[in-house]
A and B are shown apart, each in its own frame.
Chain A
Amino acid sequence: MPEQKTVATTGNSVVAEAFRQCAPDVVPAYPITPQTTIVEEFAKFVAQGRVHAEYVPVESEHSAMSACVGASAAGARVMTATSSQGLALMWEELHIASGMRLPIVMANANRALSAPINIHCDHSDVMGARDTGWVMLFAETAQEAYDNTIMSIPIAEDPEVLLPVMTCLDGFITTHSIDRVQLMDDESVSAFVGEYKPVNALLDLDNPVSHGSFAGLGGPYFEFKRSQREAIDRSKAVVERVGAAFSELSGRPFGLIETDMMDDAEVAVVVIGSTAGNVRHVAKQLRAEGVKAGLVKVRCFRPFPYAELAAALAGVKAVAVLDRAESFGAEGGPLYLETRSALYDAEHRPAVVNYVYGLGGSDVKLELIRSVFTDLSDIATGTPALHGPVYLGAR
């Protein structure tokens, strides 16, 4: 295992470091809170000559993703970062990136969407992008944000995948807090991500191709979409393989889902992102009090690990799914819908309840997590489960 350097720094700072180590050819970006310091630090690396990338300071996020699409189609390794309204402004380009099968890697600082205006953490921005055909990885900590960013390159560029990857970290909580992080050396990361060999590059003049052509009525549009579906389905094995290889290299675990204390758990919480830490902390306390509490953290949301999640929840009596985003008009939040779907074919189906929490950065206090486990213990002993999302801690 190569020697690693332990540092005290922010999530954004280590994502910028991962960008530099992945050596992209082109980084078009537009700053937005709380993503700004990623592109600011990366731009500094370019100015210092520490990375040989074309940094394109564009005039909007729509232009940022347009430039990513153009550069990636030309045959460049392309990375960018955004957040919230910026991701929303990229919308049509997100579909174009995945439809053109461009292995762009984008970091997203998870943040609430307007209105009302709010710059703090939730998953409304990224969850809205869950059907845009991007692979989506989520980080609990700055360490995972760093690791996920590096893993995103070989996942995106795998010939079996060729899809864009979004690597998501919680705004402010992860982006701006100083945390203890281990960094790999440049050579190890460089060897791990490998050299980019573009497929169907526009600048490959010996093999002329066209990208994003008209595929109207009677054309191959329908079949294109099926091939995209097949690619993201295949990506699951690739995410696992790349994760295992990175795990070997770094000594840190990686799973599509990661479980804690689930072997004999009777009550469990399914959650994404930084709140997994709060849940782990409370579950450990409850274990000491004799409650069989467990945690399932979803680290890869697209492709969604249905079978793995169902298996992890197989012996559980009551499950709470914590969503940091709404799906207005649906039965519950996006993670809840996926979890219920994962359990439909299960032999034993536990009671499942949904909590919407932490919107707009609302603090996820430990007593709130404790109250979720108390509800679960009640449900496990016969109290009927609630339907529709509970707004956890809302005044």
Chain B
Amino acid sequence: MKYAVCINHVPDTAAKITVGSDGKTIDKGGVSYVISPYDEFAIEECLRLKEKNGGEVTVVSLGSDAHKESLRKALAMGVDKAVLLKDDSTRDSFSVARALADCLQEISPDVIFFGKQSVDYDDSAVGLMVAEMLGLPSISVIVKLEIADGKVTAEREVEGGREVVETKLPAVFTAQKGLNEPRYPSLKGIMAAKSKPIEERPASAAPPKVEVLGMQKPPARLAGRIVGTDATAVPELVRLLHEEAKVI
């Protein structure tokens, strides 16, 4: 069995983000980058599948040299091979998906994993676009996966419950929190990863279909307001929630 997991290198979710001087990108100064958290579930699931069924796990990331840090961590967790689709340009989800799909076509894995979304732009699009481009079935937002004799049963999160889905390999999956508990890379794993190569390939060109025009921080949250302290305030509270906050 061949497994491929596509990961993104994103600002740490705890980092304080500011918009850069161009108004279109974030200011990267002082921001530390990590593997996108949902991608860690995807890595862990591939490692568990490999430990159970044998095979080989390849991790793929598209981006600048900085992505090597996340690829190295994946290698330290136990992934066998790493591919960096070297590209410094700004891409949209489609353009990323196109380049990943071209690379995955060559690797031709049985199982392709993504995180359900990358926590930088939150498009939740790349994994499913790749499946479409490769003509493969896809199951998104999965919280449980079983593979036996080429038959796949997955559970995915839907509004208010779970859905059980079947498909056949090869297939694309996107991982949701709860699928597993990702391991820490062991110190031995980190040392072993030093000698594993990261293969660099050019990313195939694909003009973006969407352009970012501007980025804005959300407006500062306003201070709270006390409407009243007893039951007589309820009608006013309901009115405000309905008319001002528009939440009910």
Do chains A and B interact in one complex? no
- A residues with a Cβ closer than 8 A to B are none
Residues of B within 8 A of A (CB): none
